[in-house]
Amino acid sequence: MSSLSVIVPQNISIVRPEYFFITGLSDIPYNSYYHIFLFTVYFKTVLGNSIVLLIIAFKRSLHSPKYFAVFNLALGDIGVTSAVIPNMMKTFFFDSQYISYNACLANMFFVNLFITVQSFTLVVMAYDRFIAICFPLRYHAIVNNTVMTLVFLVLWVFNTFVVALPVSLVTRLSFCKSNVIQSFYCDYGPVFRLACNGNSINTFITNLSAVLFLVTPLFIIVLSYLGIFFALSKITTWEARLKALKTCVSHLLLVGSFFLPVIFIVIASSITSLTPNAKVISTSLSFTLPPMLNPIIYVLNTAEIRVLFRKVLKNRSVAIRKNITK
């Protein structure tokens, strides 16, 4: 675990590990069952979100700004679980806890990229609900497919650049003491804290990223719903208020499933010192459970998708009965 290789470019001596060692869960009996559970979560996540992607892609009536955002969120859900769980399976279930230096940086980049995409997509969805309720007559002029395409294009480019910056800064660090990462993947914080040279810029970037991708999105979402509640207070009948608010239920559930686990982890860490195993379990669940739950939220709270599911199931049952009678 302590074997390190030294890379010496011109006039600069940087110690980089040939590989990192991922600790993950340690000294827990039957921890393989937890990994099997995560694999089940991964299978359901990919299946559920793939169905949502296919329905939105092939059903022209769903080619609208709202479902453009849902499509993007489903991509982020598949991306983050694919960046986390398969590597976790390979690392721990097959007792291969070593990961090469370059593979570690790639893992770090993709996990953080898809998490930031999820966070910003929830902001875009909040903006969509804000315009739909507060400015209903101007909705189609302000929010349309062209606008959404540009918004998400900028989102992906911006997030790619911002996430690539801290990952690239890892390459200036020297790891001359340890290459053991106290996490279940190549987590940026535990990695740069292993460095034995100055890492103040990395600490600054970590704090800035937390503000940019967690605090700021949640703040904007809260502001948008304050505006929504203010607009609803002007509606005279409770029936009309509830009808408008009902269109926000699925988005509120998505926001809760994404941000609440992170908030609970931060609060728990500030109150008490979490053990490494507790951090691994809580963080891995916060990464993997929301993407699995999101497709269920879409289906239960979106009438259009529920109707399509019923049609698919009905057509499937009719086809099965026809095959049986033949």
d(CA 302, CA 93): 37
Of the options 3.40.800.10, 3.40.1620.10, 2.40.110.10, 1.20.1070.10, the CATH number for the domain spanning 5-319: 1.20.1070.10
Q: Residue 8: is its pLDDT beyond 60?
A: no
Q: Residue 207 to residues 9, 146, 162, 215: CA-CA distances in angstroms?
A: 30, 34, 13, 10
* Inter-residue contact 294 to 77 (CB < 8 Å): yes
Counting beta carbons within 10 angstroms of the beta carbon of residue 138, is it exposed (0 to 12), middle (13 to 18) or buried (19 or more)? exposed
Structure token digits, residue 165: 């910056």
Q: Work out the mean pLDDT of the chain and round it to a whole number.
A: 85
Higher pLDDT, 25 or 11: 25
Q: Residue 134: is its pLDDT beyond 60?
A: yes
pTM higher than 0.85: yes
Q: Residue 323: is its pLDDT beyond 80?
A: no
Output the pLDDT for position 162.
93
CB atoms within 10 A of CB 19: 18
% of residues, the chain, pLDDT over 70: 88
Cα–Cα nearest to 145, from 71, 75, 213:
71
Q: Residue 249: is its pLDDT beyond 90?
A: no
Q: Residue 219: is its pLDDT beyond 80?
A: yes
d(CA 244, CA 276): 44
Tens digit of pLDDT for each residue in 160-198?
999 999 999 998 888 888 889 988 899 998 898 888 887
Cβ partners under 8 Å of residue 130, min gap 6: 224, 225, 227, 228
Higher pLDDT, 215 or 300: 215
Tens digit of pLDDT for each residue in 267-299?
887 787 778 888 888 889 999 999 999 888 877
